[in-house]
Structure 1
């Protein structure tokens, strides 16, 4: 199969390499030093799925001659719309998978690709951009896909799942994709504090004070979802009942959720996608993570002071380029929210 991957960073690069290893003809759209390295040396993959150097075709955008049978857009959420627009002619009417965190990605891409079946994808794979041309899978996991609309999109979702499974990346199609998006949005609450402090996700969760803040942000997000009538889909051991319990339970019991995530991630330090963006001097997708919670809270009676302050602190670090000491982060959040209970 001819597959185009737009955004060959940590996640997109790992997927591109795995698909090429499985015998697919893979074209990737990348930029800067990453593009130069891929063209020169191939796309190097290591970590949980083994070591491999994929010989993929690479350019700034997918060329018209690629004529892909399947496209995967794996950019950051804020770049998805432009990526779809810039590659629209090459994509044509090819089925297109939108692999992103947060909310709203499929809708933005669908506007730019009216002739393409659109599929949403959520992945629990943890991957890191190591260096130009080099990505690492730190946690191997599953991916869920869901049709955006209609029968054609459902067929495209099955096609994408089949391609990923054949490449050794467990994938399944689920009916309640919106519920899964909200479940993943809760998991993505792990991103803000590593971005602010410069610590790994595991280090943040291991620190009692930071773990309490993370738990509080997760509880806010769950409460917003419940207030909006969301039914959280079962995803990687998280269920509607379990998340609803976290929203109601005392903060001390709610910490079971980040502790569960720490155990799932294992010992290899995971920086989280937001911290990786900041380390590379790029804008993060925090507006589509904690920012999505703040936006979704509008029109409800759910207060979200923790998410609001974390959003503010990530933007501060993005602007200054300097991480904040742990004690200062705890003090800033406490000053903005009051004692966490």
Structure 2
């Protein structure tokens, strides 16, 4: 299958390399040093899915030829620009949106009314910290679907096409699963604020409690918005609602469980990776999304609002905060 991957960050490169290894004809849209490195030497994949250097993959600065499937793997804040730039080439082509946050599929559908758009939630943890190379720190499944119902025939067909390249599963209640992934993505803010890995943040008792509070707040906002959380990474509607009700000290078991699954290889989280590359983060579509949804429900989300602002502060200043500073700022 001829597959176009738009976005050459950690996940986009991971998918592109795995699809190339599986024998698909892959075109990867990349820019700058990333484009130069891949054009010169191919794309190197290491880590949890094994080692591979691409053979047939072609890297281009812009997509100018149609494909049988397009995978949109840019950060949420870059999606509108990418859709506008490539809209003519994507016209009528099925588009799989691999994106954090809640609005990726609906935004693609609005920009591409003649295309069939559906979504993917990837639990893969990957790091891209140098051009032409990506390392998978946590191999995990990718969940594909759309809407609140069961997966339709097209979703199942493309999932079956992609599954030989990487673990993929068609799921129902994709909207609810997006909310569950939003809870998982609460792992990102504190590493970005402190410059520490996810594991280091969770190992710190004070920071772990902040993360627990932000997750519980996000679950409560989802409940207030009438969401039935989708089953994802061992989480479900039932256990997330229970997590939001039990004492916070007990709730710390959830981030501890995430850290155990990650293993010992330091996971910087996608938001910290963006900061280290000098790029804007997608925090407004993660913790910021919780704040917006809370307002729609007539509620406040003070922990998520504070974390969003602290990430923006680090973006502006380039200075990370110590755990003590974070706790002092949140106590104000």
Question: What TM-score bracket applies, with the shorter chain setting the length?
Answer: over 0.9
The one of 163, 171, 174 aligned to 2:161: 163
Question: 1:3-37 deviations in whole A, cap 9, x for unaligned?
Answer: 00000210010000000110000001011100110
Q: CA deviation at 1:301?
A: 4.6
Please give the alpha-carbon distance, in whole angstroms, between the structure 1 residues aligned to 2:204 and 2:109: 41
Larger deviation: 269-278 or 86-95?
A: 86-95
1:154 to 134, 152, 156: 152
- Which residue matches 1:318? 315
1:204 alignment counterpart = 201
- Aligned equivalent of 1:75: 74
In the TM superposition, residue 325 of structure 1 has moved relative to its aligned partner by: 1.2
Using the TM superposition, give the Cα deviation of residue 192 of structure 1 relative to its aligned residue in structure 2, in angstroms. 0.3
Partner of 1:37: 37
Among residues 275, 297, 301, which one is paired with 1:300 in the alignment?
297
- SS of the residue 2:20 aligns to: helix
Please state how far the C-alpha of 1:268 moved relative to its aligned partner.
0.8
Q: Which 4+ stretches in 1 moved above 3 angstroms? A: 148-151, 153-156
**CA–CA distance in 2 between the matches of 1:80 and 1:159?**
25
Describe the SS at the equivalent of 1:166.
coil
Question: What's the RMSD between the two structures over aligned residues?
Answer: 1.5
- Counterpart position of 1:184: 181
Structure 1 length normalisation: TM-score? 0.94
The residue aligned with 1:114 is: 113
Secondary structure of 1:82's aligned partner: helix
TM-score under structure 2 length normalisation: 0.97
5+ long unaligned stretches in structure 1: 336-341
Which residue is 2:325 aligned to? 328
Tell me the SS of whatever aligns to 1:298: helix
1:148-193, Cα deviation, whole Å (9 max, x unpaired): 5999x934322331232111x1111112001100000000000000
1:1-341 counterparts in 2 under 5 A?
Answer: 1-55=1-55, 56-64=57-65, 67-148=66-147, 154-167=152-165, 169-335=166-332
Is the CA contact (8 Å cut-off) linking 1:5 and 1:29 kept in structure 2? yes
Given that residues 117 and 156 in structure 1 are in contact (C-alpha distance below 8 angstroms), is that contact kept between their aligned partners in structure 2? no
Q: How many residues align?
A: 331
Query: How far does residue 334 in structure 1 lie from its aligned partner after superposition?
Result: 1.5
- Relative to 1, partners in 2 of residues 1:250 and 1:301: Cα closer, same or farther, differing over 3 Å? farther
